[in-house]
Amino acid sequence: MPEEKDTGDSKRGLLGMFDTKVVQQKANEDLEALKKPTKTELYKSVFRVKHDDSPRSRTLGVLSNVFLHLHPAKINRDAVAYNYTWGMGGISFYLFVVLTWTGVLLMFYYHPTKVQAFRDILYLEHDVPFGKLLRNMHRWTAHAMILTVWLHMFRVFLTGSYKKPRQFNWAVGVILLVLTLLLSFTGYLLPDDQLGFWAVTVGTNMARATPILGHEGPFGPQFGMTPFNDVRFALLGGSIVDANALLRAYIWHCVAIPGFAATFMIVHFWRIRKDGGISGPSPMMLESEIKNPRR
Partner 1 sequence: MDWYQLWEIISLPDNVPIVLLMIMLPFYTWYGLRQAFANDRLIAQLEADPEMAKTHHRKTQPFKKGWPREVHVWPYLLRIEFLATVIVTAILMVWSITLDAPLEEPANPSLTMNPSKAPWYFLGLQEMLVYFDPWIAGVVMPTLIIVGLIAIPYIDENPLGNGYYTYSQRKCAIWTFIFGFIVLWCVMVVIGTLIRGPGWMWFWPGQTWDHNKLVFEVNRDLHEFVGLTGTWAIAAFGTAVLGAFVAVSAWGTHKLLTLTEFNRKILDRMSLTQYLLLQLLMITMISLPAKMIARLVFRVKYVLVTPWFNI
Task: Pick out residues in 177-206 that bind partner 1 (CB under 8 A).
Answer: 177-178, 181, 184-185, 188, 191-199, 201-203, 205-206
Do 253 and 200 contact (CB within 8 A), yes or no?
Answer: no
Rounded to the nearest whole angstrom, what is the least distance from the CB of residue 228 to partner 1 in the complex?
17
Q: Tell me how far apart the terminal alpha carbons of the chain are, to the nearest angstrom.
A: 89
Q: Which residues contact 132 (CB under 8 A, 6 or more apart)?
A: 124, 125, 126
Rounded to the nearest whole angstrom, what is the least distance from the CB of residue 267 to partner 1 in the complex?
14
The Cα 168–Cα 97 span in angstroms is: 24
Computed on alpha carbons and rounded to an integer, the radius of gyration of the chain in Å comes to: 30
Nearer to partner 1, 28 or 54 (CB): 54
Nearer to partner 1, 172 or 254 (CB): 172
Restricting to residues 97-136, name those near partner 1 by CB under 8 A: 98, 118, 121-122, 125, 132-133, 135-136
Answer yes or no whether residue 211 interacts with partner 1 by CB under 8 A. Answer: yes
Sole binder of partner 1 in the list 157, 223, 228, 270 (CB under 8 A): 157
C-alpha torsion angle, residues 130, 133, 135, 141 (rounded to 10): -140
Answer yes or no whether residue 218 interacts with partner 1 by CB under 8 A. Answer: yes
Answer yes or no whether residue 174 interacts with partner 1 by CB under 8 A. Answer: yes
Answer yes or no whether residue 167 interacts with partner 1 by CB under 8 A. Answer: yes
Measured from the Cβ of residue 135, the count of other Cβ atoms closer than 10 Å reads 20
- Binding-site string for partner 1 from residue 11 to residue 30, where x marks contact by CB under 8 A and - marks none: --------------------
Rounded to the nearest whole angstrom, what is the least distance from the CB of residue 40 to partner 1 in the complex?
23
Nearer to partner 1, 21 or 143 (CB): 143
Closest C-alpha to 107, from 134, 140, 126, 127 = 134
Rounded to the nearest whole angstrom, what is the least distance from the CB of residue 256 to partner 1 in the complex?
18
Sole binder of partner 1 in the list 75, 104, 107, 266 (CB under 8 A): 75
Nearer to partner 1, 220 or 258 (CB): 220
Nearer to partner 1, 59 or 100 (CB): 59
Longest dimension (CA), the chain: 104
Which amino acid, residue 147?
Answer: L
Burial of 225 (0-12, 13-18, 19+ CB in 10 A): buried
Nearer to partner 1, 7 or 292 (CB): 292
Taking CA atoms, 138 is separated from 36, 102, 188, 210, in Å, by: 43, 6, 11, 32
Do 73 and 59 contact (CB within 8 A), yes or no?
Answer: yes
Nearer to partner 1, 13 or 90 (CB): 90
Answer yes or no whether residue 62 interacts with partner 1 by CB under 8 A. Answer: yes
Nearer to partner 1, 8 or 55 (CB): 55
Q: Select the span of 30-38, 57-65, 256-264, 266-274 touching partner 1 (CB under 8 A).
A: 57-65
Do 106 and 124 contact (CB within 8 A), yes or no?
Answer: yes
The Cα 42–Cα 64 span in angstroms is: 17
Q: Select the span of 1-9, 22-30, 165-173, 265-273 touching partner 1 (CB under 8 A).
A: 165-173
